[in-house]
């Protein structure tokens, strides 16, 4: 299930961090100057990108938690193409400075996991939801409510990682995936959900309540 204890630095980033530090050390030893400084700046960027801090999980009944860090770029009524229903869409855009570990917004059982290859346009654009590489999870809560959350690759992102499969049970705040280098997550909610965020709001994975379910 990949629900490992929090190591502070996501294990998806360990090879990148090790490689960047080795290059920086070698650059400092053999080259020095501006190139060495640049190598250390890159290593620090890799370190901050792959940070994966533990989060407090709100226990409010019916809460739908943000699956990602970032900024809300869309709140609208639309069609959920993965759950085949009308829904409220809340989209969270992650830039390269956000934590990119993805976490389950609710408790429930996964019904489907659907992966779609696609383009890598800016994840801030509307067409990213339908044209970019993406991975959609349709989940049913214990109250038989459907929640869909979709990892969407971005302009720089080139790897969506998802560690769950149909039939798996998720708990709110549980880590289920990761997207490398800038992206977004779309969350499709039931029409009777009460949305608690607005466009432009900054949200934190697990800590921020996107909406509440009746």
| 3-state helix, strand and coil shares in percent for the chain, rounded to the nearest 5 | 20, 40, 45
Task: Give the Cα separation of 206 and 6 in Å (integer).
Answer: 14
Catalytic residue among 183, 194, 198, 204: 183
DSSP 4: P
**Torsional class of 164: left (φ above 0), alpha (ψ -120 to 50), beta (otherwise):** beta
120 near 182, Cβ under 8 Å?
Answer: no
Picking from 28, 47, 75, the residue whose alpha carbon sits closest to that of residue 203 is 75
The verdict on whether 183 is a catalytic residue reads yes
The CA–CA distances, whole Å, from 120 to 35, 94, 124, 127, 159 equal: 30, 14, 11, 10, 10
Q: 3-class DSSP state for residue 18?
A: helix
- Show which residues are catalytic: 183
């Amino acid at each position: 299930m990949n629900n490992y204890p929090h190591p502070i630095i996501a294990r998806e980033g360990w090879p990148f961090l090790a490689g960047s530090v080795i290059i920086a050390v070698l650059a400092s030893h053999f080259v020095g100057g501006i190139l060495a400084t640049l190598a250390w700046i890159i290593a620090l960027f890799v370190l901050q990108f792959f940070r994966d801090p533990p989060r407090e999980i709100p226990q409010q009944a019916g809460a739908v938690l943000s699956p990602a860090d970032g900024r809300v770029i869309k709140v609208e009524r639309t069609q959920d193409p993965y759950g085949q229903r009308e829904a409220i869409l809340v989209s969270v855009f992650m830039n390269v400075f956000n934590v990119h570990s993805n976490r389950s917004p609710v408790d429930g059982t996964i019904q489907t996991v659907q992966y779609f290859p696609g383009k890598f346009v800016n994840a801030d654009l509307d067409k990213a939801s339908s044209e970019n590489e993406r991975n959609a999870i349709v989940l049913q809560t214990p109250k038989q409510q459907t929640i869909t959350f979709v990892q969407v690759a971005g302009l720089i992102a080139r790897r969506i990682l998802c560690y769950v499969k149909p039939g798996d049970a998720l708990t709110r705040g549980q880590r289920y995936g990761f997207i490398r280098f800038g992206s977004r997550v779309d969350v499709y909610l039931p029409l009777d959900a009460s949305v608690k965020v607005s466009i432009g709001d900054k949200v934190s994975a697990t800590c921020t309540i996107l909406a509440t379910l009746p």
